[in-house]
């Protein structure tokens, strides 16, 4: 589906209600600001776990756009009649990182083999694709059984990051975008071969099918100003 470029030049300003995967919080805030300045439309952003958003959308939550943390959820929304067929596209490819505020703790995958920590934070693997990628990484490295009792789960990648940030867990699997602009602590960027790629798709929901602000936002998300933001936060941009 093509999103009309003239939605960037409205006669009357409209509002797009956008559900955003928690890992994409900071980029979404910056992109929304750029879009509002370029279009005159308003963007209302909500942040959380993709799985939770889907449940809300299925029960009639008033969102126009979903920026998912995976590809499966937008496709499911289309199949189940909750989203516009042909509107899904990959807006970003996420990277998983093992992070600690302790500058000496994370030295690479050996950190997980030695397991000299009491708590490791991950996002809920059922609700959050970054959590599923964390579990896949632990399995691939053969350490899941060793660290299972040390795992603390956040409902979203944002909560997993908060566990690490506040010291409730010494380290955790978070999104590279959450630490990309900081030199604090220690980190290991997880090789993508250790888990399924975290391709993140956007989709126009049925409630936003006639919303020019929502259509314009999705169009803008594929343009160079937004792509620069996406790359700056450590993602690969989509198509």
Sheet holding 186-189, edge to edge: 151-154, 120-123, 171-175, 96-100, 186-189
Quote the pTM value.
Answer: 0.78
Domain ranges of the chain: 5-93+197-237, 96-189
Element (H, E) at 223: none
> β-strands 96-100, 186-189: how paired?
antiparallel
pLDDT at 65 over 50: yes
Question: pLDDT (tens digit, 9 = 90+) per residue, 71-106?
Answer: 999 999 999 999 999 999 999 999 999 999 999 999
Model confidence at 11, pLDDT cuts 50, 70, 90, reads low
Q: What is the pLDDT of residue 182?
A: 86
Query: How many angstroms separate the CA atoms of 188 and 229, rounded?
Result: 22
SS (H, E, C) 94-153: ECEEEEECCCCCCCCCHHHHHCCCCCEEEECCCCCHHHHHHHHHHHHCCCHHHHHHHEEE
45-71 average pLDDT score: 95
| Cα Rg of the chain, angstroms | 18
CA 165 to chain centre: 18
Nearest to 197 by CA among 51, 95, 88: 95
Nearest to 96 by CA among 228, 194, 230: 194
Query: How many angstroms separate the CA atoms of 153 and 131, rounded?
Result: 8
Question: pLDDT (tens digit, 9 = 90+) per residue, 138-187?
Answer: 999 999 999 999 999 999 898 999 999 999 999 999 999 899 888 899 99
The two three-digit tokens of residue 85, written as one number = 């067929």
What is the average pLDDT value for the chain, to the nearest integer? 93
125 by DSSP, 3-state: which?
Answer: coil
Do the two domains 5-93+197-237 and 96-189 of this chain adopt the same fold? yes
Fold of 96-189: D-Maltodextrin-Binding Protein; domain 2 (3.40.190)
Model confidence at 2, pLDDT cuts 50, 70, 90, reads very low
Where does residue 6 fall: left (phi above 0), alpha (psi -120 to 50 degrees), or beta otherwise?
A: alpha
CATH number for the domain running over 5-93+197-237: 3.40.190.10
């Amino acid at each position: 589906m093509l999103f009309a470029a003239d939605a960037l030049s409205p006669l009357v300003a409209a509002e797009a209600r956008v559900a955003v995967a928690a890992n994409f919080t900071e980029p979404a805030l910056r992109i929304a600001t750029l879009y509002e300045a370029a279009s005159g439309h308003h963007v209302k952003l909500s942040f959380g776990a993709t799985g939770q958003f889907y449940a809300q959308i299925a029960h009639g939550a008033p969102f126009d756009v979903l920026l998912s943390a995976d590809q499966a959820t937008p496709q499911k929304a289309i199949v189940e009649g909750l989203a516009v067929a042909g509107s899904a596209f990959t807006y970003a490819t996420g990277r998983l990182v093992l992070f600690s505020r302790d500058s000496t703790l994370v030295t690479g995958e050996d950190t997980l083999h030695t397991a000299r920590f009491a708590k490791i934070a991950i996002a809920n693997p059922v609700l959050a694709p970054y959590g599923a990628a964390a579990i896949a990484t632990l399995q691939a490295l053969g350490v899941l059984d060793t660290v299972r009792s040390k795992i603390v789960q956040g409902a979203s990648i944002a909560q997993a990051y908060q566990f690490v940030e506040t010291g409730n867990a010494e380290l955790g699997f978070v999104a590279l975008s959450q630490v990309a602009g900081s030199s604090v602590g220690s980190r290991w960027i997880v090789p993508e071969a250790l888990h399924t790629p975290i391709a993140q798709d956007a989709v126009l929901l049925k409630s936003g099918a006639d919303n020019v602000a929502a259509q314009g936002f999705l169009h803008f998300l594929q343009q160079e100003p937004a792509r620069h933001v996406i790359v700056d936060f450590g993602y690969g941009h989509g198509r």
